Amino acid sequence: MSMLRLKLPTDPRWVNIVEKNIEEILTDHAWCEQKAASNAITIITINSEYPDLVTDMLALAKEEIEHFEMVHNIIKKRGLTLGRERKDEYVGELAQYMKRSNTGSRVSGFVERMLFSAMIEARSCERFKVLSENIKDEELSKFYWELMESEAGHYTTFITYARKYGHGIDVEKRWREWLEFEASIIENYGKSETIHG
């Protein structure tokens, strides 16, 4: 997990909260995957001039929708119900920071969107690791371990594109600032049965 450089690890006791309401965590997770797919499509829509980015975002969007389907299949198999889409307060705070940090230039907007996306993938990856190592449910333990590896790859993709097309911006400095901001808000989370909650 050192590659993610997150400053505040998730308390493993969060999994105890999750285990009390598996239907809720699975519903929240499913919608996280749907939003991740939508985010990748939005990135394509506003950055269509980069063919390599478009290709990779198409692949990422497909993978996220496949993950949505995988979670939905687990929900159905267990006789549970996919609940309504939830508001993600954590992602909302990151989105506000992304907007505040954009200096108004196209390049700045691009870099901030990439780092916003990388941050969500990094924390999701870390949460999936905590789930895989601590949840008593063997099927979900294996499932979250496999997804953790995928999320790590997505994190790397977003960081790589921020560096590749962030001309004139110190992306490494901005990423350190993103990590500091995330550390300042994540301590308020980890208290509910949601992926980021």
| Per-residue pLDDT at 3 | 77
Evaluate whether 131 touches 144 at the Cβ level (below 8 Å). yes
User: Residue 142: which CATH number?
Assistant: 1.20.1260.10
Query: Which tens digits make up the pLDDT trace of 10-31?
Result: 999 999 999 999 999 999 999 9
Q: 178 lies in a domain?
A: yes
Q: 77 lies in a domain?
A: yes
Q: How far is CA 196 from CA 66, 107, 144, 182, in A?
A: 20, 28, 14, 12
Q: 131 lies in a domain?
A: yes
101 vs 6: CA distance, rounded Å: 19
Structure tokens, 70: 């995988």
| Per-residue pLDDT at 1 | 52
| Per-residue pLDDT at 140 | 98
Is pLDDT at 139 greater than 80 in this prediction?
Answer: yes
**What letter does residue 9 receive in the DSSP assignment?**
P
Structure tokens, 125: 């990856």
Structure tokens, 137: 């449910």
Range of the domain at 78: 13-187
Q: 47 lies in a domain?
A: yes
Distance of CA 21 to the CA centre of its chain: 21
Query: Which tens digits make up the pLDDT trace of 161-183?
Result: 999 999 999 999 999 999 999 99
Please report, in angstroms and rounded to a whole number, the separation of the first and last CA atoms in the chain.
Answer: 20
Cβ burial, residue 46 (10 Å; 0-12/13-18/19+): exposed
**What letter does residue 169 receive in the DSSP assignment?**
S
Q: Which residue has the tokens 């308390």?
A: 11
Query: Which tens digits make up the pLDDT trace of 55-113?
Result: 999 999 999 999 999 999 999 999 999 999 988 999 999 999 999 999 999 999 999 99
The residue-averaged pLDDT of 152-164 equals 96
Q: 192 lies in a domain?
A: no
| Average pLDDT of the residues of the chain | 96
| Per-residue pLDDT at 197 | 82
